[in-house]
Amino acid sequence: MHTASMAELYPSLAQCAIVATAFKILLFPAYKSTDFEVHRNWLAITHSLPVKEWYYEKTSEWTLDYPPFFAAFEWLLSQAARYADPAMLVVSNLNYDSWQTVYFQRATVILTELALVYALNKFVKSVPQPNTHLAHIASLSILLSPGLLIIDHIHFQYNGFLYGILILSIILARKQSTLLYSGITFAILLCLKHIYLYLALAWFVYLLRAYCLDPKSVLRPRFGNTFKLGLCVLGVLGLAFGPFAQWNQLLQLKDRLFPFSRGLCHAYWAPNIWAMYSFTDRALIPLAPRLGLPVNEAALTSVTRGLVGDTSFAILPEVTKERTFALTFIFQVLPLIKLWFNPNWDTFVGAVTLCGYASFLFGWHVHEKAVLLIIIPFSLIALKDRRYFSAFRPLAVAGHVSLFPLLFSAAEFPIKTVYTIFWLVLFLFVFDRVAPVPERPRIFIFDRLSLLYLTVAIPLIVYCSLLHQLIFGLGRYEFLPLMFMSSYSALGVVGSWVGFMVVYFAA
């Protein structure tokens, strides 16, 4: 098995992609979120209006707020959309969802996901021979990810295609000869979706250290390489933002891309440090009189509704944007210091993963969907040895379970739970079987804790998804299951982060 050729890897990526596609087509009529209307509206804007007006159009509340390359991507799709149903391309047709529109948009998500299949195939080929089967298993886990199924194929977004480009950029960073292309690919990705800025420092440090400076001596800059990289990255950014700079629209773009008026926590708390902080705040309210703590009365009504707006705390001190930025930055810089002194590919992927963790755990107004920024790069190295896998396991459980509230209609309950549990059981079992034993001993307390964590997760999912409604009825205390889910998931994400930090700095 260890000397498996590509032909012997069974089931192949292509076979799994075909079966997965058949399953995704069956989900066409499933629940779709407001994101479906967002993308339909963007098709209409880019198709019907001159480029100059794209970032000003506001007939719908779902204005265009992705970078220019994504707008161009929507424009491309709109050229085909004309033939499916021209009515979906009318800007004033708000919430238009004829079956042709639904089938067209769902099909484009599946087709553009071919970028992910291509990138994963390249990843398996890029791995040194004895580890090909491990890379293949990791690739299948990403291809069949419940996260992508829930977010892209039911809820509705285009993440598969974007993560394909991210993985491609990571693979290109493996060899000195393709480092420049890694930088270009990542610059293109940033112009498609700016959430990847969270990971940008890892590329900056790695390319500076491994491409722009002599690997053997920091004091010897390679001017030719620096010039090439600078020219290419500025070229990509110029292509994307140049026209808007010429029309004096950069400030308008900034307001659309970075709406900082939103509150600390998203509508559903993402499972991060602030979810735990908010949970602690709620838990302290009944104890406040006994402990003699001052209570901010105005805040008592805010967190429970959890709508997009400012979250204010009743007991604990308020959290400012500046503090979240400072914490994110500090916890990104720590792994980058190691990357600077040790610029190899494994350390780079570890640093990308830890940048994802830092921005997810400490960021301002984080969406639960952003957990894929950690899970996907981590999957590429989760099978490096058992210590990596131990840190990955609680993340895989917590990250995927935390996505459940995105699908809240009864029809999708069996799909999301059965599929996710099946994926977790299958892949965590296989990962457990194949992960190599590390040279250094592991810290067994982490393994014991992660097993306990998994065991408690099952009754919690049952309570939050089913029992809560049976006990309290529909619509009563509906914030409770969400609060339990996000706080419990946050424990898993934070636990895996601490575990991986230990592995990363000990490796």
Residue 271 in contact with residue 283, Cβ under 8 Å? no
Rounded Cα distance, 193 and 413, in Å: 30
Nearest Cα residue to 451 out of 480, 428, 426: 428
Rounded Cα distance, 271 and 398, in Å: 8
Q: What pLDDT does 237 receive? A: 97
Residue 215 in contact with residue 343, Cβ under 8 Å? yes
Q: State the pTM of this model.
A: 0.93
Half-sphere exposure of 97 (CA within 13 A, CB side): 16
Report the Cα–Cα distance between both ends of the chain, in Å, rounded: 27
Say how many C-beta atoms besides its own lie within 10 A of residue 331's C-beta: 19
In whole angstroms, how large is the CA radius of gyration of the chain? Answer: 23
Rounded Cα distance, 295 and 275, in Å: 19
Strand partners for 366: 265
Q: What are phi and psi of 157, to 5 degrees?
A: -160, 180
**pLDDT tens series, the chain, 507 aa:** 444 455 578 899 999 999 999 999 999 999 999 999 999 999 999 999 999 999 999 999 999 999 999 999 999 999 999 999 999 999 999 999 999 999 999 999 999 999 999 999 999 999 998 899 999 999 999 999 999 999 999 999 999 999 999 999 999 999 999 999 999 999 999 999 999 999 999 999 999 999 999 877 888 899 999 999 999 999 999 999 999 999 999 999 999 998 777 777 765 578 999 988 988 888 888 888 888 888 887 777 655 444 444 567 888 888 888 999 999 999 999 999 999 999 999 999 999 999 999 999 999 888 889 999 999 999 999 999 989 998 999 999 999 988 988 888 778 888 998 899 899 989 999 999 999 988 776 666 666 777 788 888 878 878 887 788 788 877 777 777 878 888 899 999 999 999 999 999 987
Nearest Cα residue to 36 out of 83, 91, 86, 103: 103
Pairing of strands 213-214, 217-221: antiparallel
Strand partners for 221: 213
Say how many C-beta atoms besides its own lie within 10 A of residue 388's C-beta: 25
Strands (E), 30-85: none
